[in-house]
Amino acid sequence: MIFSGYLVLRKPEFNFDELGRGAFLPYAPKVGCLYYGGVDRMQWFDIDEDYYSKKLPPNLLELRNEIFSSGRAIGGIRLCSSLEEAEKLLAYSNKEIVRNELVKIYCGSFSSIKNELGQNKGNSIVGCDMYCDGYGSLIRAGIYTNPEIFNVYSSKLNKNGIFDFDENLMNEYVSSYRHAAQNNLVEEMVGSIHIILLMELAG
């Protein structure tokens, strides 16, 4: 079984908050010249900014509330089920500066992801990420936080700064991350780890 939905993310080079608030860095995660391009990129950030400052138009406020109350989520990642509605939220997010993009994500077993890839050869495939409930991306937390520890894996990142679909590589990386966490070299992540396939739609 596979779970899918639409998501507005910051583009890799804009994946930062100038004020460095909360979990958001004041700079975009980067290894060498390669930006992190996975799922952990300030989801719905510009929508939330206007939501909390009470500037969000009524029609988009309703959309946001539907997304956050629908229960359609992977860990803390809230997904939109409608492409048309997601495109409206993307347009609003980019109303001043084009800093966001729209992706479709798929989450499931290795076999279901592999099957989805076989059916979507014509689409723009970003790559695969690994996301832990309550923590975030293992790729971002490992390779982009301590690249010297994971240098063997940084060389295997694709042009979008995550992994291409490779079951053995992803399993090896999860094991390496857990080993590093046991040695207090990276943050320990306790919870389910989801394999997420990203496909770029617009930006």
**pLDDT digits 0-9 by tens, 23-63:** 789 999 999 999 999 999 999 999 999 999 999 999 999 99
**The dihedral of CA 178, 195, 76, 41: what is its sign?**
positive
With 0.85 as the threshold, say if the pTM is over it: yes
Contact 136, 196 (CB under 8 A): no
What's the mean pLDDT when you consider all of the chain?
91
Q: Can you list the residues of the chain whose pLDDT is less than 70?
A: 1, 120-123, 202-203
Q: How far is Cα 194 from Cα 137, in angstroms, rounded to an integer?
A: 9
How many C-beta atoms surround the C-beta of residue 121 within 10 A?
7
Cβ neighbours for 12, distance < 8 A, ≥ 6 positions apart: 28, 35, 36, 37, 41, 160, 161
| Total domains, the chain | 1
Looking at residue 122, its pLDDT comes to: 54
3-state secondary structure at position 194: strand
The predicted structure's pLDDT at residue 72 = 78
When computed from its CA atoms, the radius of gyration of the chain, rounded to whole angstroms, is 17
Domain that holds residue 170: 2-202
Please report, for the chain, how many H helices and E strands are present, in that order.
7, 9
Q: What is the pLDDT of residue 39?
A: 96
DSSP-based three-state secondary structure for 23: coil
pLDDT of residue 121: 59
112 to 1, 67, 116, 118: CA distances (angstroms)? 6, 24, 6, 10
